[in-house]
Chain A
């Protein structure tokens, strides 16, 4: 029996739970959240296949679990990943903060030794953006530059984490090495698919380690993000910021024969819905319920390193998350 433990039922986790419930082959979903009423609400939505369980940091993974889906805030996912590694169970996590991802990447040796796959950064960007970069790379003979941009937040925790990201020093890959960005300003206008459209983005470092692992030898990799808008309070506060539109744009430069050409992909949707769908598909892939991984890959990886990009994008399209390609003259 394929049994998923879903931990964290915020904006992304709730959407991931609904997507997992709609996945043939996922027979049981155990839901855990610090706020039990949120877990109960999702259980009622899913029905008899779901049940609510207690899980706290340092707890073991409940018996019978086949795969773990983690939608906890960045950093909070580390104890769960450690518990999954102890139990020898694969795990997919949606954390999108640079330090949190770096911490998980340090568990790579442990995961390889135990033969466990840990998929990190399974959200909009990192996540869908990595899959788009991997797909773009299949159209090129060689890749020399990757530029990722992201707009949108997937919930209150995601908003807080993105604010921290913008206050941190950005990093980029230059001449194949991850280096700090020393320029004081790195703002650039990026044209996302509609309805997000043109947004000013600032260079950050989120997910750059995952891309550097997946594309060794690429000369330059940058990640930009739109800074979250000022907080609204009182009557004008949004209950669910993840319900707002988000988007990602991925520009991959490389060579086809002797010509240097770009491949530009993008996707737009409700941020939490896109993130939750990506997390659900990655989890289902680890469970073997959908065939979107290119073989077995013990260790800690981003999606670009392990997915079969065409199959992954097809699975997402079947769930309403469709990518687009920019055709014409890319200007940004």
Chain B
């Protein structure tokens, strides 16, 4: 009886940890692709 309860509690903890980890990963800090602008090579006037 005690063993069964412990297993159920362990599974619950693992499940909650998994959900929490997934949420953190989804909401984690990451870049957002630039939607405006781009790279322009430096040229003559910028070297003087």
Q: Which A residues are within 8 Å of any B CB, using their own CB?
A: 185, 187-191, 193-194, 198, 265-266, 310-311, 313-314, 317, 322-332
- Cβ-based interface call for B4 (8 A): no
5 further interface pairs, Cβ-Cβ under 8 Å (given A266-B39, A326-B37, A331-B31): A188-B29, A323-B42, A324-B39, A325-B40, A329-B36
Q: Are A324 and B41 in contact (CB under 8 A)?
A: yes
| Count of inter-chain pairs, beta carbons less than 8 A | 66
Q: Which of chain B's residues have a CB closer than 8 A to the CB of A194?
A: 39
Q: Are B39 and A193 in contact (CB under 8 A)?
A: yes
Q: Which B residues are within 8 Å of any A CB, using their own CB?
A: 28-42, 46-48
Q: Are A313 and B47 in contact (CB under 8 A)?
A: yes
Q: Are B42 and A198 in contact (CB under 8 A)?
A: no
- In the complex the two chains form, what is the Cα distance from A187 to B29 in whole Å? 8
Q: Which of chain B's residues have a CB closer than 8 A to the CB of A266?
A: 39
Q: Which residue of the partner chain, among A185, A187, A310, A328, contacts B37 with CB atoms under 8 Å? A: A328
Nearest Cβ on chain A to B44's Cβ, whole angstroms: 9
Q: Are B34 and A314 in contact (CB under 8 A)?
A: no
Q: Which of chain B's residues have a CB closer than 8 A to the CB of A322?
A: 41-42
> Can you list 13 A-B pairs with a CB-CB distance of less than 8 A?
A188-B30, A313-B42, A324-B39, A324-B41, A324-B42, A325-B39, A325-B40, A325-B42, A325-B46, A327-B38, A327-B40, A328-B38, A329-B34
Q: Are B47 and A331 in contact (CB under 8 A)?
A: no
Nearest Cβ on chain A to B7's Cβ, whole angstroms: 30
- In the complex the two chains form, what is the Cα distance from A106 to B31 in whole Å? 37
Q: Which of chain A's residues have a CB closer than 8 A to the CB of B48?
A: 310, 314
Q: Which residue of the partner chain, among B34, B36, B42, contacts A191 with CB atoms under 8 Å? A: B34
Give 3 nearest A-B pairs by CB, closest first: A328-B37, A189-B31, A314-B47
Using known A-B contacts A310-B47, A314-B47, determine if residue A331 contacts B33 with beta carbons closer than 8 Å.
yes
Q: Which of chain A's residues have a CB closer than 8 A to the CB of B33?
A: 191, 198, 331
Q: Are A329 and B35 in contact (CB under 8 A)?
A: yes
Q: Are B39 and A329 in contact (CB under 8 A)?
A: no
- In the complex the two chains form, what is the Cα distance from A332 to B30 in whole Å? 8
Q: Which of chain A's residues have a CB closer than 8 A to the CB of B42?
A: 265, 313, 317, 322-325
